[in-house]
Amino acid sequence: MAMVCLTDFEEYAKAHLSKATWDYYAAGADECCTRDDNLLAYKRIRLRPRILRDVSVSDTRTTVQGKEISFPVGIAPTAFHCLAWHEGEVATARATEGLNTCYITSTYSTCSVEEIAAAAPSGYRWFQLYVYRERKLSEQLVHRVEALGYKALVLTVDVPYTGKRRNDIRNQFRLPPHLKVKNFEGVFEETSVPEEYGIPANTLDPSISWKDIYWLQSITRLPIIIKGILTKEDAELAVEHGVQGIIVSNHGGRQLDGGPASVHSGFCTLPGYSDRQAVIISCVIYQGEEGVREVLQILNDEFRLSMALSGCRNVAEISRNLVQFSKL
């Protein structure tokens, strides 16, 4: 059966992955209200098409942090791609390079930042970063990705503690023995501390605050993008602290259950960024690199068609006047 839309990939993945792996990818926190609202919110969006605009030629290209990409959709940072396909993040990187868009590599990758850079040397890559209690862990990662040519740091700020993902607890989710968080390979010694998603529990630093933006700026020349902002107040603080961009995100509903859907927060640095982690991962299990390419191409084609049917010839012509929210 032909894969026609992203839901087809999602259904394929659910049918072919183990229950524990699927539950990990599809998880939301607690009752999954925010996770589910992320999808429902998009269904409430209605477009106001303009007619007779000569859309015989369309251009989906845009720029992000000064870099031209083929269309305004990027790959969000998602963990453990090797659970779905043996090449993991390497396959994702190659596909993203081929489609000329942005791939935000996760700290919790099952391929190292070096392996990803080597697999797609011309790819446009950012690196997603957490701040750890042992700051040297974060600092060493920053220096590694800067030396490898990653173009920005995406600081995730909504995980002072890991959200309660009930199915992961029920399934006692752990990485299989043959997989590791490759960016930390050899870093953590054998310990009696329980493991949490591939590294010792309580490694993240819950004391992270706005002053850590200045610390991060002091150790790198890379642009700093903050991921996890949902309020106007925090967006303004981010600007005051000199960050170069924000990604509106509720972590796919995997952290605070009861927060707003990302799209309802009303602004977005990277248009098209979506908190549908399960869908992004689903394309990796379907033929690896080719599956990611196919998903990105479907998104590109759907975006181009929607632009044309809305009367837009290029991304610059898309404005808030084209969008309204309906009540379901």
Smallest Cα–Cα separation from 3: which of 287, 222, 194?
287
Q: Is 24 annotated as a binding residue?
A: yes
Q: What is the pLDDT of residues 251-273, one digit of tens each?
A: 999 999 999 999 887 544 334 44
pLDDT value for 276: 45
Identify the pLDDT of residue 252. Answer: 95
pLDDT below 70 — which residues of the chain? Answer: 266-286, 327-328
Give the Cα separation of 152 and 145 in Å (integer).
9
Mind telling me the catalytic residues? 251
Which structural domains are found in the chain, ordered by start?
Answer: 29-325 (3.20.20.70)
Helices and strands counted in the chain (H then E): 11, 11
Locate 159 and state its tokens.
Answer: 């995980």
Tokens describing residue 154: 């995406």
Taking the model in full, what pTM does it have?
A: 0.93
Residue 204 sits at φ, ψ, to 5 deg, of: -65, 150
pLDDT at 164: 98
pLDDT on residue 327: 67
Please write down the long-range contacts of 242-250, taking CB distance under 8 Å and 24 or more positions apart: 242/213, 242/217, 243/213, 244/65, 244/152, 245/65, 245/152, 245/269, 245/270, 247/154, 247/273, 248/273, 249/76, 249/158, 249/273, 249/275, 250/34, 250/38, 250/158, 250/275
Nearest to 184 by CA among 141, 120, 125: 141
How does pLDDT run across 113-123, given as a tens digit for each residue? Answer: 999 999 999 99
Residue 325's pLDDT is: 80
Is 310 a known ligand-binding residue? no
What's the pLDDT score for residue 284?
Answer: 53
The verdict on whether residue 324 carries a ligand-binding annotation is no
> Would you say 120 is a known binding-site residue?
no
